[in-house]
Structure 1
Amino acid sequence: MVGIKDVASLAGVSVATVSRVLNQHPAVRAETRARVLTAVDRLAYRPNAVARSLRTHQTRTLGLVISDVLNPFFTELARSVEDEARALGYSVIIGNADEQPELQDHHVRTLLDRRIDGLLVSPTDGGSPLMLGAARTGTPMVFVDRWIPGVDVPVVRADGRDAIRDLVAHLHALGHRRLAIINGPAATTTGSERVEAFRDALHAYGLSLPAEYVGQGDFQADSGRKATGRFLDLPRPPDVVFAADNLMALGAMDEMYARGLRVPEDVALAAFDDIPWFVHTDPPITAIAQPTGELGRTAVRALIDVVEGRTAASVTLSARLVARRSCGERREQTS
């Protein structure tokens, strides 16, 4: 196996000089640097990453714990995180919490044991002692999409309040007055924020959100089906079901079709978190789109700033309404 001594011998320099070149130390002459890199290429030398991490206290590796890898939002988020990290010279290890706090903590513990340089997390809830302790002891960490209130780490997220306000205005203009929501878990910041924003937007139009029009979901399709079934069994079912997540929206549509209902003629449907195949459903689903790729890229840059000793601020991006035809829109009202 080729070692650093072989590189030093071929380049005619000391082992220390080779080490300085590989670690991008500025105090190496350009001619010497070129000679060492030529030797590295000729010998196909690959530095020992573990040994290097012990010397530099860095592994050039980031951890990402996402809430549900099967959720298209988090799949796209993970892809953008990995792409941006690779472009900046870092690798990413991904853990899927599957919306389970205990599985989230397992992944966080494992990643910390692997000496990652920093951690990106979309928390499944706000009460993890392990995560709170890691943040308080200085582990480089950034929350993405979701966050834990009161924990002093940067948060990169999208604010959906304006988009939800736009959605309610859009639905009101279409003549809808009985609006229901399938909400996500109250323990998540996105779950509590979306239902509050929906209630506030309704209030601006003199509309209420009765308790029977709030369905409790868990960001999974089955909960969307069950909540929609309860709505449709009411003496006065809602005109519109707004699912606060894309998977719950698909579950809601399944339940509507299983009952032989037409969308939007019998009941309308809207979703938070747009996904590419919403344009291919029948009808195409009106949705609130988050800038998912930008969220991932921004979160990586913020975490690397923390890892490398720079100041990183929280960043809030904007979501937007994408009107299609699942709420009774005419083609000229869609975008």
Structure 2
Amino acid sequence: MATIKDVARAAGVSTATVSRVLNDHPSVTAESRERVLAAVERLAYHPNAAARTLRSADVTTLGLVIGDVLNPFFTELARAVEDEARAHGYYVITGNADEDPRRQDEYLDILLEQRVAGLLLCPTDRVSPLVEEVVRRGRPIVLIDRSIDGLDLPVVRSDNATATRELVDHLVALGHRRIAIISGPTSLVTGRERLAAFRAALAAHGLEVADRDVRIGDFQTASGVAAMGELMERPDPPTAVFAADNLMALGALRWVRDRGLRPGSDIGLASFDDLPWFEFVDPPITAVRQQTEEMGRAAVRELIALLNGRPARSRTLPCQLVIRGSCGERQGAQ
């Protein structure tokens, strides 16, 4: 018996597009509609009416779209969301956007067709028409980790500014004066906030951030490797590097290790967002620890408040600076 995936494959479209055609959704192009209907007829596909009826009555399921399932931060976040949702009698359907706005919208589309009771979203780098449509239609939605410019939605997130300032204060106290940053993409609010806080914190110490001390990554390991190489291979390398995310910190650490250098003595290295194994690296990595589990659980509670007709509130959670040995010991100004 043919499935909706078979139809999508035969028509060269996504399963979401097939579903929209079968439900006579106006957003599908005439060409796509013709291909889907031809594939339906050729494969003798018959939608499962019982399953569609079940979906239409589903009020106990929440939808979650995360940025990158390979990032341990999002993995821990998704687990916390699921645990809290189950404690309140809800189940969770999770989609991995892989930091791609198009994939984000595909998952949102699927979740809306599944008629989930509400949505939890870690938004990608731009506002999509679909997200705006969700807001206009009044579908309950809570943002996690990142806000969306121009949309007044409840968001549960970390205090990026205070945590970054505390880390810079620590580096300066150790004697570092040439401090560089591997920033996340400035298209994301977390990237912009951490970079702005980094600049402001150094300025408070009378230190200027030159353009050569800023490298923009993409919250992925490979960008951390590349950025660290660019920073360290110049004639006047920094004495410390702040990687604004754990995967980029791992990439920076890989570059350092591959060249036989040692964090804490040859170069200071710190990360925004801790990892369980950072404490087992030699030397252990200094990191800003987010309240990831509480972030996920709090977002679920705020979404359930919306579902129960109560207002949801935004929350900004404090972080903890975990000082380890990767930035060196107190020394004179460099």
Q: Partner of 2:120 in structure 1? A: 120
Query: Displacement of 1:136 after TM fit?
Result: 2.1
2-structure distance, mates of 1:187, 1:132: 18
1-structure distance, mates of 2:110, 2:51: 18
1:263 aligns with 2:263: yes
Contact 1:179 1:242 in 2 (8 A): yes
Q: Partner of 1:186 in structure 2? A: 186
Contact 1:76 1:292 in 2 (8 A): yes
- Number of aligned residue pairs: give it: 281
Query: Displacement of 1:329 after TM fit?
Result: 3.6
Q: How does 1:104-253 map to 2 (within 5 A)?
A: 104-253=104-253
Q: Partner of 1:59 in structure 2? A: 59
The one-letter code of the counterpart of 2:197 is: A
Deviations 1:244-298 (A, max 9, x none): 0000000000001112212121111000011111111111100001100000000
1-structure distance, mates of 2:53, 2:105: 28
Contact 1:246 1:275 in 2 (8 A): yes
Normalising by structure 1, report the TM-score.
Answer: 0.81
Contact 2:101 2:126 in 1 (8 A): no
Contact 2:55 2:114 in 1 (8 A): no
Normalising by structure 2, report the TM-score.
Answer: 0.81
Deviations 1:156-214 (A, max 9, x none): 11112112111111111110000000011111100100000000000000011111111
Query: Displacement of 1:49 after TM fit?
Result: 9.2
1:300 aligns with 2:297: no
Contact 1:62 1:116 in 2 (8 A): yes
> What runs of 5+ residues in structure 2 fail to find an aligned partner?
1-49
Identity %: 57
Contact 1:122 1:143 in 2 (8 A): yes
Secondary structure (helix, strand or coil) at the match of 1:309 reads coil
Secondary structure (helix, strand or coil) at the match of 1:139 reads coil
Q: Which moved more, 1:287-296 or 1:147-156?
A: 147-156
Secondary structure (helix, strand or coil) at the match of 1:92 reads strand
Contact 2:287 2:321 in 1 (8 A): yes
Q: Partner of 1:23 in structure 2? A: none
Contact 2:225 2:251 in 1 (8 A): yes
1:95 aligns with 2:95: yes
The one-letter code of the counterpart of 2:231 is: F
Q: Partner of 1:277 in structure 2? A: 277
Query: Displacement of 1:126 after TM fit?
Result: 2.5
Secondary structure (helix, strand or coil) at the match of 1:175 reads coil
The one-letter code of the counterpart of 2:160 is: G
Q: Partner of 2:21 in structure 1? A: none
Secondary structure (helix, strand or coil) at the match of 2:253 reads helix
User: RMSD of aligned C-alpha atoms?
Assistant: 1.5
> What runs of 5+ residues in structure 1 fail to find an aligned partner?
1-47, 331-335
Deviations 1:135-156 (A, max 9, x none): 1221110000011022121111
2-structure distance, mates of 1:148, 1:182: 23
The one-letter code of the counterpart of 2:121 is: V
Secondary structure (helix, strand or coil) at the match of 1:225 reads helix
Q: How does 1:309-324 map to 2 (within 5 A)?
A: 309-324=309-324
The one-letter code of the counterpart of 1:190 is: T
Contact 1:270 1:287 in 2 (8 A): yes
Secondary structure (helix, strand or coil) at the match of 2:64 reads strand
Q: Partner of 1:37 in structure 2? A: none
Contact 1:81 1:300 in 2 (8 A): yes
The one-letter code of the counterpart of 1:271 is: S
